[in-house]
A = this chain, B = another copy of it.
Amino acid sequence: MKVLSKGCVYGLRALLYIVSEKPREEYVNIREISEELDISFHFLTKTFQSLTQKGILRSYRGPNGGVTLDRPPEEVSLAEIILTLEGEDFFDKCLLGLAGCGQAAPCPAHEFWIAHKAELRAEFERTSLADMGRKINKEKLRLGP
């Protein structure tokens, strides 16, 4: 049950690194993060662009530039990060992948699947970056899959 794409996981790990290792408001060099977490620099760069556009990160170009959280980590939910990196329709998919599935023509799994997705979304909404940062296991952040 692979739920998140690699890009999304990279983004999450990187955000957790920033939250747990760096002072708030300090611009962190992307190259440093990529080396520290063993993630391709250019790939991470792309992921960060989406997070910057969404207002989760703030960026600064030029020497000593980098990225930093644009808001306190308490105000960034896991849901927002995932929706940004996986697409806003993340929670809208039918379990059986049927395009026409919906209130009007529900698939046999529609009812319970919709309830289940709502629960999951709520859980993701109430989990903030700060919450996750607190639970972090620093050694593990850098270990890939």
Contact = CB atoms under 8 A, between A and B. Distances in A.
Interface string A87-118: 00011010111111100011111111000110
A137 B106 contact: yes
A77 B12 CA distance: 34
Given A1-B93, A105-B137, A137-B106, A99 B9 contact: no
Given A108-B133, A123-B116, A135-B108, A140 B3 contact: no
Interface string A3-20: 110100100110010000
A86 interface: yes
11 contacts: A1-B3, A1-B86, A6-B97, A12-B96, A13-B96, A98-B140, A100-B140, A108-B132, A110-B135, A112-B123, A116-B120
Interface of A: 1-4, 6, 9, 12-13, 16, 78, 86, 90-91, 93, 95-101, 105-112, 116-117, 119-120, 123, 127, 131-137, 139-140, 143-145
